[in-house]
A and B are shown apart, each in its own frame.
Chain A
Amino acid sequence: SQTIHQWPATLVQPVGSPLSLECTVEGTSNPNLYWYRQAAGRGLQLLFYSVGIGQISSEVPQNLSASRPQDRQFILSSKKLLLSDSGFYLCAWSGIGVTEAFFGQGTRLTVV
């Protein structure tokens, strides 16, 4: 069966520090991968999605970037965190012929 791992679960980082959140999927090949940010009352905002290695689509201009160095690995990064980057970040995957998305447990990021 397929599983999705996202870490860390919580993270406290100072303003100006770099960020790297990692997400990996097991049990499937060539998944579509997504990064979302969840904010209270604002639902799930799609940040990035990827349909293959090295292919990243960005939905909103922001202080974040994403990379997909391997088929089942998706990384969310920032060179310098801002206070406004605080939030709950979710990784998700969907597969060919299976268009629903499956979510990781999320990372609570607090920038101080």
Chain B
Amino acid sequence: AQSVSQHNHHVILSEAASLELGCNYSYGGTVNLFWYVQYPGQHLQLLLKYFSGDPLVKGIKGFEAEFIKSKFSFNLRKPSVQWSDTAEYFCAVNAGNNDMRFGAGTRLTVKP
């Protein structure tokens, strides 16, 4: 089965700093890739997704992610974070076999 690794457990940034959260997966075939966000006290919601086509995908709230097939990576980026981006971020992989795997999550704290 596929697995997902998120290397940063807790990231602390100041407002306006740039963000990049790493995500790597282990699966050799075609994958669908996702980033989910969980704001404090709220349920998980989809931030962005990649199925095919342009490997640079844009999501809500100014987030984007780049799929690099050769590196098995799907890193999340945002040029300038805001205090309201404080949340936990999960990378997920679906290899098309109805088996949605999530990473351990990265907690982002943005200081005002």
> What residues make up the interface of A, taking CB atoms closer than 8 Å to B?
32, 34, 36, 41-46, 49, 51, 57, 59, 90, 92, 94, 99-101, 103-106
Contact = CB atoms under 8 A, between A and B. Distances in A.
A43 B104 contact: yes
Contacts, number: 55
Contacts of A90: 44
A61 B99 CA distance: 17
Contact of A41 (B96, B101, B104): B104
Contacts of B49: 100
Main secondary structure of the interface of A (DSSP, over half): strand
Contacts of A32: 98
Q: How large is the interface on B (under 10, 10 to 19, 20 to 34, 35 or more residues)?
A: 20 to 34
Interface of B: 1, 4, 6, 9, 32, 34, 43-46, 49, 51, 90, 92, 94, 96, 98-105
A43 B51 contact: no
Contacts of B34: 100-101
Nearest to A57: B99
A46 B44 contact: no
Given A99-B32, A99-B51, A103-B43, A43 B100 contact: no
